[in-house]
Amino acid sequence: MRLSRTVFLFVAAALFFAAPQAQSNDSVVTVDVVAKTSASSVDTIDPKGLKFQGDQVGMLLRSLIFTPQTFTLKTKGLKDQNYDVYIDQAFKYTKSAKELENGIELSLSGRTADESKIKCLQEAVPNIKDTNKRFSKSSDPEAKRISFTLSQATTWASTSTNREQRQRSVSVIIAPTGIRLQKMSIPAKDDPEKVKEGLSRACSLLQQARSRMFQAIKNPILRNDAVVAMTPVEFTTSYSMVDGKPRIEASLLNNCDLSLSGVISISLPEGWNTTTPTAEIKDLATGKTHKVTFDLTAETKDAPVPEKVSLAANLKVIQDRFRAEMSLNSTAKAPAK
């Protein structure tokens, strides 16, 4: 049986679109050996950390996202000779300087562990460091005690996330062929299971530290600051006018690896009311956002519109026998007239 030209073209087109298409690779990392610089065409790859020993070049290319990606590594400024290329400490192939300038294809793996734990630790570190810097300068014994714990927490979080980051990275050494390979201080990848265990342990230690601070610190302000620093949660508010009445919106984003429960409450300005002054938060999962709106109504016709409104999120974070509570406060300011 012969197919008509129309049917043949239709079948061919269907087969073409049904077949898996290779994704184009537009991501490029460029290394300039002469200038000793590196640059990435995308913000998902960090090419920092160039190392040089004679004509040998080493680098660690880190992925800044949790999904796999491929890219082209172009190295210019090399001498006109052949080079051995080592990927993650293993010999891969020999290339000419021209081939390396044109580029070699490399890939970066996606996340190798629980994303919620990675994100929790990454988000917590900056706040922990900032709070520790403030507490370390205090003469208060309790502040000093908190500072010591925060220093430990920074180490737990940074060490485990750096190890996981290495799993999503690739090391490259380009060395002249026929010359002895020089040792370079580029960290090796760990066993994936050990990386997972390290992240879980760091998150567990962080929750234990939250619980210990909540139970042991007597000063309520210091206690709250300590728990807040170690619990990556974003509490934001906004103020708008709708039909001549204030509308206050609150948003709570949970970046902690544990769920959160509690209440968002609004401090009503004098002369104003709302139907529900509190909103319950029940088991807000990691990575999720809870939003609530408070529409204010005036109790009298001449009630002045408030310039600002205070809100609080009183939260609990619980894991097994370890429990901590904290309060986040935010002020919503009226829009400029």
The helix or strand, by DSSP H or E, that contains position 237, with its residue range, turns out to be strand 233-242
The answer to whether residue 256 is domain-embedded is yes
- Average pLDDT of the chain is 90
The mean pLDDT of 99-117, rounded to a whole number, is: 92
Per-residue pLDDT band for 48 (boundaries 50, 70, 90) equals: confident
Last-in-domain residue among 228, 243, 260: 228
Sheet of 322-333, strand order: 278-284, 260-267, 308-319, 322-333
230 conformational bin, left if phi > 0, alpha if psi -120 to 50, beta if neither: alpha
Calpha distance 203→116 (Å, rounded): 10
Residue 122: partners with Cβ closer than 8 Å, 6 or more residues away = 157, 161
Last-in-domain residue among 198, 228, 258: 228
Q: What is the pLDDT of residues 132-179, one digit of tens each?
A: 999 999 999 999 999 999 999 999 999 999 999 999 999 999 999 988
329 and 244 co-located in one domain: yes
Which CA distances in Å does 204 have to 32, 61, 124, 208?
A: 43, 30, 13, 6
The answer to whether residue 96 is domain-embedded is no
219 and 244 co-located in one domain: no
> Tell me, what's the pLDDT at 301?
85
Calpha distance 212→146 (Å, rounded): 10
The answer on pLDDT for 322 being more than 70 is: yes
250 and 278 co-located in one domain: yes
The answer to whether residue 285 is domain-embedded is yes
The answer to whether residue 206 is domain-embedded is yes
196 and 298 co-located in one domain: no
> Tell me, what's the pLDDT at 25?
60
The answer to whether residue 178 is domain-embedded is no
Sign of the four-CA dihedral 3, 9, 12, 14: negative
320 and 242 co-located in one domain: yes
Calpha distance 96→176 (Å, rounded): 10
How much is the CA Rg of the chain, to the nearest whole Å?
28
Residue 55: partners with Cβ closer than 8 Å, 6 or more residues away = 78, 79, 175, 176, 179
The mean pLDDT of 204-217, rounded to a whole number, is: 96
> Tell me, what's the pLDDT at 203?
97
240 and 312 co-located in one domain: yes
Taking the CB of residue 314, how many other CB atoms lie within 10 A of it? Answer: 16
The closest alpha carbon to 169, from 192, 193, 189, 151, belongs to 189
Q: What is the pLDDT of residues 228-238, one digit of tens each?
A: 999 999 999 99
The mean pLDDT of 94-103, rounded to a whole number, is: 97
CATH number for the domain that contains residue 279: 2.60.40.10
The answer on pLDDT for 324 being more than 50 is: yes
207 and 238 co-located in one domain: no
The mean pLDDT of 256-272, rounded to a whole number, is: 96
The answer to whether residue 75 is domain-embedded is no
The mean pLDDT of 260-274, rounded to a whole number, is: 96
124 and 148 co-located in one domain: yes
Model-level pTM? 0.80
With H, G, I as helix, E, B as strand and everything else as coil, classify residue 210: helix
213 and 267 co-located in one domain: no
Measured between its terminal Cα atoms, the distance across the chain in Å is: 78
> Tell me, what's the pLDDT at 8?
36
The structural domain count of the chain equals: 2
**In percent, how much of the chain has pLDDT > 90?**
82
> Tell me, what's the pLDDT at 111?
82
277 and 207 co-located in one domain: no
With H, G, I as helix, E, B as strand and everything else as coil, classify residue 189: coil
213 and 242 co-located in one domain: no
The answer to whether residue 220 is domain-embedded is yes
> Tell me, what's the pLDDT at 336?
84
The answer to whether residue 318 is domain-embedded is yes
253 and 199 co-located in one domain: no
Domain hosting 270: range is 233-333
Q: What is the pLDDT of residues 11-39, one digit of tens each?
A: 333 333 333 333 336 899 999 999 999 99
